[in-house]
Structure 1
């Protein structure tokens, strides 16, 4: 069998795999409606979380905002309430909560939310922190704190709503990851580790809860204009700054609309922007899909996107090496001045 015959055989096998997928009875989730739903949002006092709350209310949902600081929650509540539809039964509640606190407190906060507005139909895990330092400059305690909030906090919040969702056989769970949860980047050893971990948690969880008509969405936004990004930029390494800029800067409301649209459809891996599309194809792995079109994209584009990705990686390596040389030259110049 020559090379051409092997390629034809490979193409036929790919098509057969797609056809087998297309007739699967377990693929397409039922449409999820936000109107009349109760959406609980951790990290809901600012950034992406608050933007998701605004969009959810615009679409007829009631929301519970959770965050650590009451003052910021009250401000967010007032802002989100402006979008409550006149004459509706929509409500916007707030609950002070640190999702990384002991589980009993997290569980109690969610019970309070449910007692006020009814069962949770959608959970948006937006609470999180960033850390943009080279690994050698990162304290172990700081690394552990990032994991505790970004991973453990998400796990605890999800666990608090899951039993009720499964008993009702209805629900959506959103995990806010990052493009740094798809590709490891300079300065994001702690942050990327926490976001990569969310992916493994989400894939396993999705397989467990799909029979209950519960769908998990992992959204991976690039840099988004939020208070967290602004705080992160204060001490972000030059390498990290230059690499992050390649994906552009997005507004929270743009990301929020994509999150809600994809989670309603039951999309597992949700992306933002062209770079996000490329990364989705490259990192699709064994994640679930919801349509033949999505499957075809991954089958036929993963190789092309991987090739493009290699050019990106080469450019990132050049940035890192250039910054290293600049630091070395600066150190030599400084030493010469002092002599």
Structure 2
């Protein structure tokens, strides 16, 4: 009986593997594309910007600290493959006010053209036992890690829909897949990104806009160093069961997944999602026909 079940699972996985290319997006070319990276002044965000620049992209780095932005810009510029590439720096808190975020994204598009790819990498972390974490930190986590991705995404989505193209990446965390000891403030804010991304993907797929979520493991970044200062013993021991990755390694994988493989968030739900996508597309077509009819009248 177990052999039959195992054979069925293997056959099902192989079937999904064969079907997935049919619904995956075409590879996205970074050469000449405008890529906006929030949280781009350090860590994974800066490494993603560098990787995109190596492939010929134009980069807008978004972060709060102007000094770090200037230093990051110099590092990214060293990765240029032609003399036409540009790195633009914008200092803004992406979690504080949507109006400000919308304004700076508009400025970036006026200078470097429409945003082809948005990488939501701005985030922060805190570790501590539930009853020992200050209540305002729970609010701060949601503002930075969740709204800090909602605002930039909202600022670029209309233009992407008009152009019928775009890529959006949300950088979550492995703690956004599994709740862990010491992350009662951090994990929920990262879990929220998955719900946002999956729902948004279903809305945007008919417009040829694809969304992906990255779940980096512990990575050697300034934020990770800061987080280690407050980790409870249990959290630290759990963390030490896996190796710490380098941001350059993580960035290469994330960029490749975003521009090439993307596809679906949950392979097991493939057939359901295909059906749901069909419903969404039919509704979109009906609305467009209705608008066209209204204009004729």
Give the TM interval when normalised to the shorter protein: 0.7 to 0.9
> Are the equivalent residues in 1 in contact too, given 2:20–2:263 (CA < 8 A)?
no
Alignment match, 1:173: 168
Q: How many residues align?
A: 273
Structure number with the bigger relative contact order (C-alpha 8 A, sep ≥ 6) is 2
Q: What CA distance in whole angstroms lies between the structure 1 residues aligned with 2:236 and 2:270?
A: 30
Partners of 1:239 and 1:101 in 2: CA distance: 33
Per-residue CA deviations over 1:43-100 (Å, capped at 9, x if unaligned) read: 00000000011111111001000000111111111111111224x3110000011011
Moved over 3 A (4+): 3-8, 14-26, 283-290
Task: Find 1:212's aligned residue among 207, 214, 220.
Answer: 207
Q: Select which of 171, 177, 186 maps to 1:182.
A: 177
Alpha-carbon distance, 1:201 to partner? 0.7
Which position in structure 2 is the counterpart of 1:318? none
- Over 3 Å counting, the alpha-carbon distance change for 1:138 and 1:268 in structure 2 is farther
Deviations 1:203-260 (A, max 9, x none): 1111111111111111101110000001111121111111011121000000000110
Structure 1 residues not aligned, in runs of 5+: 271-282, 291-339
Does structure 2 retain, via aligned residues, the 8 Å contact 1:181–1:195?
A: yes
Deviations 1:11-52 (A, max 9, x none): 29x847965885689612111011010100000000000001
Aligned CA RMSD, in angstroms, stands at: 2.6
1:46 aligned residue: 42
Aligned to 2:279: none
- Give 1:102 shift: 1.3
Cross-structure match for 2:286: none
Equivalent in 111, 114, 138 of residue 143 of structure 1: 138
What residue in structure 2 maps to residue 323 of structure 1?
none
Supply the distance in 2 between the matched residues of 1:120 and 1:158 (Cα, whole angstroms).
10
Question: In terms of mean alpha carbon deviation, does 241-250 or 35-44 score higher?
Answer: 241-250
Residue from 286, 298, 307 that aligns with 2:269: 286
Query: What is the TM-score with the length of structure 2 in the denominator?
Result: 0.85
CA distance in 1, matches of 2:209, 2:144: 24
- Residue 3 (structure 2) pairs with residue 11 (structure 1): no
Distance 1:98 1:287 in 2: 37
Change (3 A) 1:247 1:4: closer
Bigger Rg, which one: 1
Q: Assess, with a 3 A threshold, how the Cα gap between structure 1 residues 25 and 54 changes in structure 2: closer, same or farther.
A: closer
User: In the superposition, relative to structure 1, how do residues 107 and 284 fare at CA in structure 2: closer, same or farther (>3 Å)?
Assistant: same
Residues 289, 73 of structure 1: CA spacing in aligned structure 2 closer, same or farther, 3 A cutoff?
farther
Please state if 1:262 is matched with 2:257.
Answer: yes
Partners of 2:113 and 2:240 in 1: CA distance:
42
